[in-house]
Amino acid sequence: MSAHDSNSFDPTPEDRFSFGLWTVGNPGRDPFGPSVRPTMDPNHIVRQLAAIGAWGVNLHDNDLIPFDASASERDRIVKEFKATVADTGMTVPMCTTNLFSHPIFKDGAFTANDPKVRAFALQKTMTAIDLGAELGAKIYVFWGGREGSEADACRDPRAAWQRMREAMDFLCGYVKDRDYGMKFALEAKPNEPRGDIYLPTTGHMLHFISTLEHEDMVGVNPEVAHEVMAGLSFAHNVAQALACDKLFHIDLNGQKIGRYDQDLRFGSEDQKGAFLLVRLLEGTLGGKPYDGPRHFDAHAYRTEDEAGVWEFAKGCMRTYKILAQRAAAFDADAEVKQLIAEQEDRELDPLLSGGYTVQKAAALKGLDVDVDAVASRGLGYERLDQLLVEYLLGVRS
Ligand code: DIG
Ligand code: MN
Ligand code: MN
């Protein structure tokens, strides 16, 4: 059952809603002030997420295991966490590596100029992949938060690209060698914390993947805020990833254009963009729906206490389900279907699809198009968009 099948907006495990330990566990620190909330124990987070109807919990290695933990501490922490995940019926769909907090990564990880940093990044990632496999994760995300520059003369950008390729090919080899059955999902961001981040959008990542040795096991993890920061349509970028079967994961949140990475509650900004995204993911407009986790990579406002954090998390899931129900109703509306059907004149399909033939070229060259009649035709988009707005505002159902 998908998110739009029921009129209830209460999350169920079938919705596959997930949160990272770092999201609901965000203590409210920002560049201009310290934490405002106590640090939450990962096991408490898992229990709370299960209680509000989430399905999955994701993590960076150091969200669970302190950077300097001993092997015995690591084993104790993992054992307790696995027990909590099992006891609550939760799952760990995705894991990732923190390659951005420790000062050793101040000039990047896989793209850093210092080969000792690059070697340490590979070591840390292999260890974190081992943890992910132990927790049952089948998706491994790479967000290159520090893979970038301010003083651009510091390295040939082509060297950064090549180093990233070598790292991805090596780590794909590691996962295949260990037979972990994992897929990699690459997450783009245009800037912050670096002045510019390499591979800044999902489109760049999709091309980059095509250059890899094991491109079949590598896809993308687009994040709403990151593509909006670049001034792009998130739904269009997700659609391209879906169309080439590379949408392996997704980071849902809210973002105001022209701001730093806000990672706001899903649907709290740009409700129309969120509606069009959910419509695409749920497949109510047709086409294959997205079948992966709905991950909220977002955090509560700094103004909130712990109760506010759980309101934030419930709001992410509830808004997703409301938008899913609105999208299903919109695409079932007879007038909407009629307006869309009018755009789908299939008469020339035999000439326009299926590739080139000499016959098609001759037929297209001989086609008599009444240019003025076609140019003067009204397309009905004003009515179509008004209907969308009325579904969004809840005055049409
Ligand atoms: C930030 O958008 C990044 C990191 O939080 C993490 O590596 C990734 C996983 O969703 N998103
Ligand atoms: Mn973000
Ligand atoms: Mn993210």
- The answer on pLDDT for 6 being more than 90 is no
Question: Which whole number is the average pLDDT over 250-260?
Answer: 97
Mark whether 61 and 200 lie in a shared domain. Answer: yes
| Contacts of residue 169, Cβ cutoff 8 Å, sequence gap at least 6 | 212, 213, 214
Q: What is the pLDDT of residue 1?
A: 54
Catalytic residues: 60, 63
Determine the Cα–Cα distance for residues 9 and 3; give it in Å rounded to an integer: 8
**What stretches of the chain adopt beta strand conformation (E)?**
17-20, 56-60, 94-96, 139-143, 148-149, 183-187, 196-197, 218-220, 251-252, 294-296
Supply the residue whose CA is at minimum distance from atom 6 of ligand 1: 143
Mark whether 319 and 198 lie in a shared domain. Answer: yes
- Residue 14: closest CA among 266, 325, 293: 293
Give the CATH number of the domain where residue 100 resides: 3.20.20.150
Mark whether 155 and 254 lie in a shared domain. Answer: yes
Q: What is the pLDDT of residue 8?
A: 87
89-143 per-position pLDDT tens digit: 999 999 999 999 999 999 999 999 999 999 999 999 999 999 999 999 999 999 9
Alpha helix positions (H), 5-55: 21-24, 42-51
Residue ending a domain, choose from 294, 327, 360: 327
Mark whether 289 and 341 lie in a shared domain. Answer: no
Q: How far does residue 192's CA lie from ligand 1's centre (Å)?
A: 12
Mark whether 171 and 207 lie in a shared domain. Answer: yes
Supply the residue whose CA is at minimum distance from atom 4 of ligand 1: 143
Query: Candidates 58, 141, 295, 299: which one to mutate for ligand 1, based on the most atoms within 8 Å of Cβ?
Result: 141
31-89 per-position pLDDT tens digit: 999 999 999 999 999 999 999 999 999 999 999 999 999 999 999 999 999 999 999 99
Determine the Cα–Cα distance for residues 237 and 369; give it in Å rounded to an integer: 33
DSSP per-residue letters across 294-348:
EEE-----TT--HHHHHHHHHHHHHHHHHHHHHHHHHHH-HHHHHHHHTT---TT
Q: Which residue has the higher pLDDT, 172 or 8?
A: 172
Mark whether 159 and 20 lie in a shared domain. Answer: yes
Determine the Cα–Cα distance for residues 347 and 139; give it in Å rounded to an integer: 43
Determine the Cα–Cα distance for residues 293 and 218; give it in Å rounded to an integer: 16
Mark whether 380 and 296 lie in a shared domain. Answer: no
Mark whether 357 and 382 lie in a shared domain. Answer: yes
Residue recorded with tokens 């808004």: 319
Residue 226: count other Cβ atoms within 10 Å of its Cβ.
Answer: 29
Query: Candidates 189, 205, 223: which one to mutate for ligand 1, based on the most atoms within 8 Å of Cβ?
Result: 223
Q: How far does residue 130's CA lie from ligand 1's centre (Å)?
A: 19
**Closest atom, ligand 1, to C-alpha of 142:** 7
Order the strands of the 218-220 sheet from edge to edge: 218-220, 183-187, 139-143, 94-96, 56-60, 17-20, 294-296, 251-252
Residues around ion ligand 3, judged by CB within 5 A, are 223, 251, 297
DSSP per-residue letters across 345-377:
--TTHHHHSS---HHHHHHHHT----HHHHHT-
Domain that holds residue 161: 3-327
| Contacts of residue 139, Cβ cutoff 8 Å, sequence gap at least 6 | 93, 94, 95, 182, 183, 184, 185, 221, 248, 249, 292, 293
Residue recorded with tokens 């104790």: 76
364-386 per-position pLDDT tens digit: 999 999 999 999 999 999 999 99
Mark whether 146 and 271 lie in a shared domain. Answer: yes
Q: What is the pLDDT of residue 397?
A: 87
The token pair at 278 is 């959910």
Supply the residue whose CA is at minimum distance from atom 8 of ligand 1: 143
Determine the Cα–Cα distance for residues 117 and 102; give it in Å rounded to an integer: 11
Q: Do 231 and 257 contact (CB within 8 A), yes or no?
A: yes
β-strands 148-149, 196-197: how paired? antiparallel
- The answer on pLDDT for 2 being more than 80 is no
On average, the pLDDT of the chain sits at 97
Question: Which whole number is the average pLDDT over 257-282?
Answer: 98
Q: How far does residue 189's CA lie from ligand 2's centre (Å)?
A: 8
Q: Do 206 and 244 contact (CB within 8 A), yes or no?
A: yes
**Closest atom, ligand 1, to C-alpha of 221:** 10
Predicted confidence band of residue 344 (pLDDT cuts 50, 70, 90): confident
Mark whether 248 and 371 lie in a shared domain. Answer: no
Mark whether 319 and 339 lie in a shared domain. Answer: no
Identify the residues whose C-beta falls under 6 Å from ligand 1.
20, 22, 96, 141, 143, 187, 223, 251, 297
Predicted confidence band of residue 315 (pLDDT cuts 50, 70, 90): very high
Mark whether 226 and 364 lie in a shared domain. Answer: no
State the total domains in the chain: 2
What is the rounded end-to-end Cα distance, in angstroms, of the chain? 21
Question: Which whole number is the average pLDDT over 332-352?
Answer: 94
14-25 per-position pLDDT tens digit: 999 999 999 999
Q: What is the pLDDT of residue 7?
A: 59
